[in-house]
């Protein structure tokens, strides 16, 4: 997704006066953006707290500012500056975190971001975007660029099946029909679910929906999700502040009560070991094979 992000911001950046800051990351990916922006592309160094303060200062002059690093370094290290300097002033600063969830695998917990969008959604004026596919990144960047409020973009590795034809981007999309309830997925892990679910007969697979923009809004919940008899949510994020909790809250407010509700979510490091992103998904029960097998047992 990082390359798709670079391409999208090159197009946007050449038509505006935006400033781009990077925390000494993005090598072998963001060079086209550097060439397009010239001196508006700034390497702020390994100093994320300072970078966010600078971004807020730039935004205070009326310019949109984008700040980039890997996910835990863009939201956790400079959290106070995000809260106080950016969000409380409602400045037009966009935070971009690469490798959300367990994306950085064997690099361990310090490089994982499994509570990022829950934390960001708790801040004043913040909008969060979690694209599921590389093709989503351009329309998401366009939506973020058009919104004058703080934003957080969580990027990951696109896992789209080669033969999947995606519908046009929307905050909610149904990508596969089935008769075994409704499954809501957040993030690029959706690709693996679609590939596996497509091999199952309709009676053994759920409708698969992808949600991209957070916090969830009651006026945008699809009717199929509101009316679901069996509703499942899977996300590479802890339960607290996650989409499962957001959705359950909105369903209660709407008076909707699925007969069965199951939230599959990240739960840290059960074995105390580190491994690949795939390893952590399996260990936390959020891998496609494990989730779909469990859904198949839910009548």
Spans of all domains in the chain: 2-155, 172-296
Contacts of 83 (CB under 8 A, 6+ apart): 123
Q: Do 172-296 and 2-155 have the same topology in CATH? A: yes
Instruction: Note down pLDDT in tens along the chain; length 299 residues.
Output: 999 999 999 998 887 899 999 999 888 889 999 999 999 999 999 999 999 999 999 999 999 999 999 999 999 999 999 999 999 999 999 999 999 999 999 999 999 999 999 999 999 999 999 999 999 999 999 999 999 999 999 999 988 888 888 999 999 999 999 999 999 999 999 999 999 999 999 999 999 999 999 999 999 999 999 999 999 999 999 999 999 999 999 999 999 999 999 999 999 999 999 999 999 999 999 999 999 999 998 86
d(C-alpha 230, C-alpha 179), whole Å: 10
Please, are residues 187 and 235 in contact by the beta-carbon 8 Å criterion?
Answer: yes
In 3D, which of 19, 39, 40, 9 has the Cα closest to residue 92? Answer: 19
Does domain 172-296 match CATH 3.40.50.920?
Answer: yes
Give the pLDDT score at 14.
83
CB neighbourhood size of 262 (10 A)? 17
Evaluate whether 245 touches 239 at the Cβ level (below 8 Å).
yes
Question: CATH assignment of 2-155, given 3.30.1860.10, 3.40.190.10, 1.10.443.10, 3.40.50.970?
Answer: 3.40.50.970
């Amino acid at each position: 997704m990082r390359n798709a992000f670079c391409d999208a911001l090159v197009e946007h950046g050449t038509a505006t006066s935006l400033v781009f800051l990077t925390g000494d990351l993005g090598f072998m990916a963001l060079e086209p953006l550097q060439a397009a922006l010239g001196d508006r592309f700034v390497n702020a160094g390994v100093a994320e707290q300072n970078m966010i303060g600078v971004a807020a200062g730039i935004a205070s002059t009326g310019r949109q500012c984008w700040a980039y690093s890997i996910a835990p370094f863009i939201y956790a290290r400079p959290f106070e500056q995000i809260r106080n300097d950016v969000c409380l002033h409602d400045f037009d600063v966009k935070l971009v975190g690469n490798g959300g969830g367990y994306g950085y695998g064997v690099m361990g917990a310090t490089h994982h971001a499994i509570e990022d969008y829950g934390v960001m959604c708790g801040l004043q004026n913040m909008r969060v975007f979690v694209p599921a596919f590389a093709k989503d990144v351009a329309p998401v960047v366009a939506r973020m660029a058009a919104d004058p409020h703080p934003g957080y973009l969580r990027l990951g590795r696109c896992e789209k099946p080669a033969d999947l034809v995606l519908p046009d981007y929307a905050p909610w999309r149904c990508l596969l029909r089935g008769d075994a309830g409704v499954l809501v997925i957040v993030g690029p892990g959706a690709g693996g679910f679609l590939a596996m679910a497509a091999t199952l007969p309709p009676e053994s697979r759920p409708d698969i929906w992808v949600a991209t923009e957070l916090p969830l809004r009651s006026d945008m919940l699809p009717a199929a999700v509101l009316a679901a008899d069996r509703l499942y949510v899977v996300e590479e994020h802890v339960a607290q502040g996650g989409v499962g909790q957001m959705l359950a809250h909105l369903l209660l407010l709407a008076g909707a009560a699925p007969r069965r509700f199951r939230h599959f979510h990240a739960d840290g490091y059960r074995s105390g070991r580190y491994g690949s992103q795939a390893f952590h998904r399996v260990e936390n029960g959020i891998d496609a094979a494990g989730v779909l097998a469990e859904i198949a047992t839910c009548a």
